[in-house]
Amino acid sequence: CGVRRSQLWSPYSTHTQLIKSLLLGPLMGASTSKKPSVPLQEPQDLSLRRQDATAVPSDSDKSEDSERTANVSGHEKAALRPWTCSPILGFQPKEVLTLSDLTRLLHRPCDPAALAATRVMFGVLMMLDVPQERGLGVADIKWGDPDICHFPLFPHFVPLPLPYMVLLYGLMLLCLLMMTVGWRWRVSCGVFLVSYWYLFLLDKTYWNNHSYLYGLLTSILLVSDPHRCWSVGSGASHVPLWNYTLLRAQVFLLYFLAGVKKIDQDWLSGYSMQHLAQHWVFSPFRVFLSNDNIDYFVVHLGGFTLDSLLGFLLFFDVTRTTGLVFGAAFHLMNSQIFSIGMFPWVCLATLPIFCSTSWPRPILATFSSLLSAPGKGLQSTVLEGNATGNAKETTGSEDEEKKPETVKGEDNEKIIKALERNPNCYYGENGFVTRRQKATTVAVLAYLCLQLFLPFSHFITKGYNTWTEGPYGYSWDMMVHSWDVLHIKVTAVTATTGDVLYLDPNIWVKSKRWTSHADMVVQYGQCIEQRLASRGIHVSSLHIDVWKSLNGRFQQRVFDPNVNILKAPWNPWQEVRAGQ
């Protein structure tokens, strides 16, 4: 191939620089020489030039690169082409072989525009979520009655008095407004995050996967820099690539793990969600399918296929448009079928995060009168990037090579000045990464490993397993289980006379979800004991008889009615067995 093995593997050899010039072309602007005797040092701005944030090659760089590339024979280019992975993955495999290499990759500077747009859309949607699913609109019903039983994750978590709960909601709305405009980002986002998780952990009966997702997205945005663009009191500057990597990976796992959880006999057999075909959104399918076929082929098999593949469709450039179309249609249909608050709209807002990091700029450029940030009215200079955020790369002859879209002259200079350097990014001046950057890389990897582990961690938290694994809310098993409560009987035996009391199962509770989980049944028994004691009725035992149906099966008894719930042993790490 005309390249010696020693030259190919030497990290600072001339041919290595030649490979980079061929693969990255004018984007890198790498300096090469035809004499292989002197090893070259990597340019100081190499990392920045790889990035789709601000690096735009000058005309002189382009002419020099074209002249050097012209001196490379065709068989050398053909030999190098199979080693290229950037057009598919967005990075070279050698860039993730060591911790330092991965740190350089994850800290490359990126355009903050897409991250800022996500911040604005998420802030607005969460402001709509607070009076709905968070409960501000029904705060007096949800938190006003001190006798209502709550089911917190931790025993010492108790709701504040109603006036303070309303103040907490008001504080959350204020923080969301500050987050939307990007003012005092860390403080506003941190206060909202603490308040949100406090409300979330107060009652497991309100848990669902999308409420859990909101908390995760807020946590990611808190440690990221979405305020580096279009923010009050903050200039525009680069953001490290890992800001996008975390968000994209979290959204990818949302879809992919939902697909994995649908590898369930009930779902694949069409029993999890029945009679949805009667909804008007499925009217186009009724032209050629019956309702039963729609329930099975469209809802169950179609839902499994879409969840399993949507993340991959969004990841790759060539399939992203298809993924955006199917993803948007899927979430718009869900917004009409189910009453799930802002979840479909939050998912719609996160779909563009897989696009170029500069996707909002061409859109906002058409409304230049609305822009007040530096670089006003300019077209984006960032190349169309893949899911990892770095620019597309092409190989082959000069005739086959696709020229990147750039702007020239004063526009280019204005954009460069508008995007300031971020100390958290890696620019390659000295070739070394800091300890803080390495620690950030380790933290990113640890977070992703945790998100992969938690949905399958129910073999550890055995006490939360009943008919299904774990409490509903962080397993991404969305819509897999449908419950029908057929019968609930609650009896209490007084401690003094031994009289049997029959209690209304709907008193002091707002939901029947507690009847599906052993940990909530224990909490319910303790709450009922306290409420009766406050009324002068002391009980020695409490018995619960629940009959339910899962996914259309025949009704079955869930708990042994002979067991005294007040004395039943329960431990989050031990399996709940029959007779307990």
Q: Which residues are catalytic?
A: 262
What gap in Å lies between CA 240 and CA 105, rounded to an integer? 9
Instruction: Determine how many CB atoms are found less than 10 A away from the CB of residue 554.
Output: 7
What gap in Å lies between CA 382 and CA 50, rounded to an integer? 11
Q: Which tokens in the block code for residue 322?
A: 């298809």
Q: At what angle do helices 241-261 and 343-350 cross, to 10 degrees?
A: 130
Using an 8 Å Cβ cutoff, are 133 and 494 in contact?
no
Q: Which tokens in the block code for residue 32?
A: 């090469």
What gap in Å lies between CA 319 and CA 387, rounded to an integer? 11
- Helix or strand holding residue 80 (H, E): helix 74-80
Q: Which residues are within 8 A (CB) of 292 and not within 5 positions of it... i.e. 6 or more apart?
A: 277
Using an 8 Å Cβ cutoff, are 183 and 123 in contact?
no
DSSP labels, 235-287: --B-EEHHHHHHHHHHHHHHHHHHHHHT-SHHHHTT-SS-SGGGSGGGGGGGG
Q: Which tokens in the block code for residue 24?
A: 């990255």
Dihedral angle computed from the Cα positions of residues 49, 50, 53 and 57, in that order, rounded to the nearest 10 degrees: 40
Using an 8 Å Cβ cutoff, are 82 and 218 in contact?
no
